[in-house]
Structure 1
């Protein structure tokens, strides 16, 4: 758009220059004709034919040509066609006229000025319009060529400016993507193309500083609460254990056992809160390394197969060969452990749970799927929220943080989490970029 406006403006300016130059050249030509005519009119009428003959001989092959006609319309002297014999300004085509020094190819057009003399005769003075016409043609070509050149320059400049702008914006966009991915310490670089854009980047960075401070405060509060409450709960549990050993009564022991179970669940919730705060804060990002996903999943299957049997579930697995991803092995183990536990705990007896790892188009997909009752579409968007449970009575147990932690681990690894209907059941798919050192598909 900028290049088009620039080109149109340049074309208009060059057109005005061409018009002004052509107008000046035409006026100069008329001035020379007027001056030559005035000189001849000043001659005595009787001497004028001889003066014109002398001038014709003297100016042969140059620019001026003449015609003198008596009052009866008979040509006295001169070689201009009589159809140019009229008063005032005019022009006549002279395609067959001999070449001149100024126009070797022969004049195309003569510009004429006719003047009625005192004795009734008509004096016509003409000059070759070739130079003016040629100048006009040159100016037209000059205007077109320069308009094209300026347009190309404008396009090239706009393209280069666009590349620079896109590069600077790309750097800012990359920083935003890193912030969205959880690296909240990142800030936008100064764009440098305009003060307004740099002011915008500075204000966004100030906003990010403020948000980061608020989030850090929130994480600190969660951590402090978890730490402060975990200590008295641990002491309470120890006291309950001591009381159970001291009493030896079955009814008291049963009540204490319930209290111990509740204390254990509270402690597990606080451990999960601390773990989630650590993951979301990026504290586990640095030690990433290639992880053998096949071996990790095989170990989890071996671990959870007895759990599934106790719950009267079926646990099946189908592993891809040499599936390698870049990440934290401990966090990845917790991710898939949470997904397997979620499928076992929140489905009825007899449910089949499958774990599939497959490679496709540079991606490694791990799918945990069950054929249980599934989760309603409206609920699927919420089950990764903290403390959210589909069962409003929370009768299935758990803290409501398992899928929140799983989602945070997925985000930390730059992977993608998809929760869909398995028809019947629930399908949770985690997609990783394949580690380049892994086997090719």
Structure 2
């Protein structure tokens, strides 16, 4: 029962329907071509026979006009040799046969003075038979009747055999086309079933399942590769959502608890000043929470969306210089050096405000985490590399850096290393930078600055 089901599924596939339609169209055109070939072959053969008959009729007519009746009788008798293709019938004005290899005047020719097709048999007394011939009457005068013909049965059989071969070949090609379509549909069905099996596993909850790639590089491999890339992205988003949920539960629990404790402490105190201080402290903590949630919403929007109508073409070097200039006083206040080396000012197509936010986050992270509270001896360098198709914004410091095993992890939301927990923050700065890079079709990579950390934000010139 399984085999007929597989066959019916294969026959109902698009690949088989396309193959069947192709075969049907091929049959129409091939049948038309074969019909034209057969018609042309028959026409050529017929013209050849008529030309031969006309030439022989002219010779016999000339012979009759230049000699007596015995001469034309001898000429017809000579041509009427057994086994030859020529057919002759010579009779006098009374209808008596004088010469020829036909036993009588064919009635088909008698009814058509211009000649025609008739059937004959040399062995039949009445002239009937199953062989096909063509004949024309020849006017030799004196009331005599002369018929000159040719046996065309061999040509007829040849044309019939050619037609049979043509249609047999057409049938074989049709069967071969249908079998090829069935085989193609089976192959297509197998590949599609592989995709469906993987899709069912993924819908059942196995987000790590991927579609097998055969390695042939065909359109199915291209589809599988794109679907796998999409699944990778979906899995990353799902894992990110799960991590965000966990991080919200852990990282926001402490500030919410502190907010509640501050409110309770304000209630326990007496006096207007104590209440004011408590409310101000509560508002300060609430602002930090609102800032965290706003950052979360922005990261989620960037990871889920595309470049909006605010995208424009702008000089990225000028933007980086402006942001660095804003943070120079902050760096000087902490005793750090902030150097900017921008030789070129290439243009990119993107969202200016988001690029500004990403560069600001990188510089702010470098100021926060590259040195201690005094920041003595810390140097932050900001550079810009102009590549053929992209630009690289580099922010490097000579601080403690990040261990290689942690560099991928810090790009995730709410991730804060232990040594950075002394500084205020939400753990969303680098994740926002990565979201901006991904939105523009770029990337973020963390490198060893020997010593310190070097963060490279790559943005294509056309997103």
TM-score, length-scaled by structure 1: 0.44
TM-score, normalization: structure 2?
A: 0.43
